[in-house]
């Protein structure tokens, strides 16, 4: 994976590549400086906007998956395991996020209602005893 990232973003721009085992699945943190050549000024500059383009972000996982399958013959499952949600665009994500927040608020109201009824039940139980 580090070789793929170094090839894609430039080994000379790499700062660190560290594997973390702090979650269920080990994962890699790759830090790099997004450097591009500025033709206008004939020099290198830092520009995340020009390196991490929309196309780069859309193709990254598929490209990495294909590279890993090519260099690791035993690597079959791949990183594209269909566990990510199939959102088409930001508007769709926002729609589902709004629905999620509405359900979360509804759940909070139900929980508050339950607490209120438990309080009444406790008072009633105390009165009966």
Mean pLDDT of the chain: 89
Q: What share of the chain is helix, strand, coil (3-state, %, to 5)?
A: 55, 15, 30
Residue 31 three-state SS: strand
Q: What is the pLDDT of residues 81-107, one digit of tens each?
A: 665 556 667 788 888 889 999 999 999
**Whole-number pLDDT of residue 73:** 82
Q: What is the pLDDT of residues 113-124, one digit of tens each?
A: 999 999 999 999
Phi/psi at 27 (5° precision): -145, 160
Strand partners, 14: 32
For the chain, the structural domain boundaries read 1-84, 85-129
If you average pLDDT over residues 67-74, what whole number do you get?
89
Q: What is the pLDDT of residues 14-27, one digit of tens each?
A: 999 999 998 888 88
Give Cα 60 distance to the centre of its chain.
13
Between residues 76 and 57, which one has the greater pLDDT? 57
Q: How far is residue 79 from each of residues 51, 56, 84, 108, measured CA to CA in Å? A: 22, 17, 10, 36
The CATH number for 1-84, chosen from 3.40.50.150, 3.30.930.30, 1.10.3720.10, 1.20.1290.10, is: 3.30.930.30
Nearest to 84 by CA among 108, 56, 65, 104: 65
**Whole-number pLDDT of residue 87:** 66
The tokens 């509804």 sit on which residue?
106
pLDDT for residue 6 is more than 60: yes
Residue 59 three-state SS: helix
If you average pLDDT over residues 62-69, what whole number do you get?
91
Percent share of the chain, pLDDT over 70: 93
């Amino acid at each position: 994976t580090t070789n793929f990232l170094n090839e894609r973003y430039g080994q000379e721009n790499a700062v660190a590549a560290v594997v973390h085992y702090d979650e269920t699945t080990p994962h890699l943190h790759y830090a790099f400086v997004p450097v591009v050549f500025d033709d206008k000024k004939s020099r290198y500059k830092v520009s995340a906007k020009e390196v991490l383009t929309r196309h780069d972000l859309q193709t990254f996982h598929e490209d990495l998956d294909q590279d890993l399958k090519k260099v690791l013959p035993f690597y079959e499952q791949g990183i594209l395991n269909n566990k990510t949600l199939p959102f088409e665009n930001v508007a769709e994500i926002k729609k589902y996020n709004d629905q999620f927040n509405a359900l979360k608020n509804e759940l909070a109201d139900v929980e508050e209602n339950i607490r209120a009824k438990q309080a009444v039940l406790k008072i009633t139980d105390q009165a009966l005893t």
